[in-house]
Amino acid sequence: MKTVLFVCTGNTCRSPMAEAIARFQVEAGKIGQDHGKIFVISAGTSASDGALVSNEAIQTLKRMGIAHDGRSKRLTSQMVRAADIVFGMTASHVKQARDLVAGEKQQVAKIHALDECGDVWDPIGLGDVAYDRIAAEFMELIPRRLSEVLAR
């Protein structure tokens, strides 16, 4: 089984949405058929353990027919080491995850930007339209990036 870890700042918007969307796509057979089972989790570089996922994120997922009931978790070096693939929402998240396992080449090598073209912007405070837009981007981006990284 491969473990995929999505990382953002507070683990209340982007990374839990990415986690839920990736899990939905794995369960629908859109990701991972050639790579075995995939377990998906998320965490935040500055998360407070146990915080609720934002209402906007939950409502966006519901409109897509995707359930998510997780709580926030602070990113730890143990999480990074336990994951097979780590995707950061921004260059800063990638750097912070790499800093947790600095000097461990194999660990650092499995940490990637989710979007190689730039940072995934934060929809917090921007309303439902912004969350819907991020979710639509994730529906396209996540299967492509997971397939690319799993194929390496």
- What residues act catalytically? 8, 14, 122
What is the pLDDT, as a whole number, of residue 33? 61
Rounded Cα gap, residues 5 and 55, in angstroms: 22
The backbone torsions φ and ψ at residue 72, rounded to the nearest 5 degrees and listed phi first, read -70, 150
* pLDDT tens, residue order, the chain (152 aa): 899 999 999 999 999 999 999 999 988 887 766 556 889 999 999 999 989 999 999 999 999 999 898 899 999 999 999 999 999 999 999 999 999 999 999 999 999 999 999 999 999 889 999 999 999 999 999 999 988 888 77
What is the pLDDT, as a whole number, of residue 72? 94
What is the pLDDT, as a whole number, of residue 150? 80
CA geometry: angle at 123 spanning 92 and 53, to 5°? 90
Rounded Cα gap, residues 54 and 15, in angstroms: 11
Rounded Cα gap, residues 77 and 100, in angstroms: 5
DSSP state of 123: -
Distant-in-sequence, close-in-space partners of 62: CB < 8 Å, separation ≥ 6: none
Enumerate helices (H) and strands (E) in the chain, giving the number of each: 6, 4
The CATH number of 2-147 is: 3.40.50.2300
What is the pLDDT, as a whole number, of residue 151? 77
Closest CA to 112 of 134, 84, 73, 78: 84
Tell me the pTM: 0.94
